[in-house]
Amino acid sequence: MLTEHAGHKLWGRKRHSMITLGLIVVAMQLVLPTQSQAQSPLAIPSAETSGSQKIQFDVASVKQNKSDDKPKSNFLLGPGDVYAPNGGLFSASSTPLIVYIAFAYKLTNNQLQFLRSGLPDWVSSDRFDIQARSEGSPTKDEMRLMMRSLLADRFKLTVHNETRQVPVLALLLSKPEKTGPRLRPHPNDSSCSTTLTPEPDRASNAAPSATAGGFPQTCGGPVLIPASAPARLNVGARNVNIGLIASALPDWGALGRPVMDRTGLSGTFDFTLEWTPETHHSIASAMDIPSDTSGPTFLEALKEQLGLKLEAQKGPVNFIVVDHIEHLSLN
């Protein structure tokens, strides 16, 4: 299920499969001097350099959808690694083109306007159905590369990177070398699958279940899990790095700036974060969350539960810039 970036209506709600928060997407990646490009959520091999041949779907159909149907897809299109078995099938409907671009380039959700600013309105407003198939069992990142090829073919999409110094929020530890009670190193001996399994008995509006420790059962990306009160949001993940968490914070907290990981924490972590969203937040309005002032604010929860804080700074951000895009060409 998909959610949209702050300032835009969420396309998804609590449904039977896991919900990736902050899917859409900002066209940027934080550039950390101490972090290699390969460790970034955006850093997957380009379709042009992965082997001797360009990776592409064996067959694909792309059609504009002018219905009022809600977007849906057969697996999560966010930057995380959570992935449902699909037998080489990519199936999505009534989905804005900007979502497909975000999926193809593994974009994180910081400031969507940096991608949108140079794009025609139809890229966000017009919706499309894509049905595509590849032989074998491609990984999620291989599916992304195939989507890049498809977008280049059908929409003539070309992009490049630009790095700029911009205002950011630095993610820091509140106390030196100490995390909060709900942010724990992922156990090395813990079995952890990124594969979603169908749960036919689950109610259609239910959030995914959690493990005995309160963390999501599936690893690889943030999802909604049951909260302690109707007016609160509870987000969790297992086996994710701090960079992925940082990239999602601007959308969850409506922060208005990208967040740069400067905690110094390495490895992967399990976490849950529960807070009461402000009533004007797009997440609260789209999911019909009732008003309640009894729970912690987003920043309070970040400090008390995860042991993290935010500090205004400037930093280098690598933007994805669209050079060229055209409306749908014929199949």
Q: pLDDT value at position 22?
A: 38
Cβ-based burial of 283 (10 A; exposed 0-12, middle 13-18, buried ≥19)? buried
How far is Cα 42 from Cα 29, in angstroms, rounded to an integer?
Answer: 7
From 247, 245, 248, select the one nearest 265 (Cα to Cα): 245
* CA dihedral for 141, 143, 146, 151, sign (positive or negative): negative
Q: pLDDT value at position 28?
A: 37
Q: pLDDT value at position 9?
A: 30
Q: pLDDT value at position 309?
A: 98
Residue 200 forms beta bridges with which residues?
none
- Could you give the 3-state DSSP secondary structure of residue 1? coil
Please count the other Cβ atoms lying within 10 Å of the Cβ belonging to residue 54.
16
User: Model-level pTM?
Assistant: 0.69
For residue range 190-199, list pLDDT tens digits in order. Answer: 777 776 655 4
Q: How far apart are the first and last CA of the chain?
A: 26
Spans of the chain below 50 pLDDT: 1-52, 199-207, 284
How far is Cα 253 from Cα 242, in angstroms, rounded to an integer?
Answer: 16
How far is Cα 290 from Cα 232, in angstroms, rounded to an integer?
Answer: 9
